[in-house]
Amino acid sequence: MQEKCTSNKMILSRYLQKMFSGWGLSLKGFLYNNKGEWLLLIQIILLLVLLFPGYPLVELQITVYTISIFIGLAVLLIGILLSLKAALNLGPSFTPLPELKENSEIILDGSYKYFRHPLYRALIIISIGMSIYKLSLLHLVVTMLLSILLKKKAQKEEINLVKKFPEYKNYQLNTPAISSSIKYLDWRK
């Protein structure tokens, strides 16, 4: 039993090592934005701002506040689970940059069957969850800014995906980008 557990840990370790390697991050890249490093940096900053206290601080009755906490946490948890699923679906092709890894493969199943950018969708859902949880206009504004940034990042990725995988063009035409219900987040032609 212990051998099987050790074997599974080794398999998971190798899988995660492949997934998180080959990103090509470097100080020079951050200085010159060679692979979209500035987009990644802004994304990280916006996600960190979500940890700030809410503004304006809202003094509401405990019932409304309690309900917002539970709804916010539920939405946040859904976003986290969706992001984990999307990242695992990408496997070794996963990268935080809009540039593709050299050995990347096109992924059209799992989370990617329904949306072209389910990881970005999940990040927006997480951000919405934090906005509800904190009842904060600041967090709502950060969610909007994050949506704009992730759309720009996704569009940059898609230029590279079409170049590397010609079949991506058909997928692009038939599959919603980040959200099918918000026109701004679905730029199919």
Task: Give the integer Cα–Cα distance in Å for 116 and 68.
Answer: 30
Question: So what's the pLDDT on residue 158?
Answer: 95
Parts of the chain with a pLDDT under 50: none
Helix, strand, coil shares of the chain as percentages rounded to 5?
Answer: 70, 0, 30
Question: So what's the pLDDT on residue 117?
Answer: 97
Q: Is 95:128 a contact under the CB 8 Å cutoff? A: no
Question: So what's the pLDDT on residue 107?
Answer: 93
Question: So what's the pLDDT on residue 184?
Answer: 94
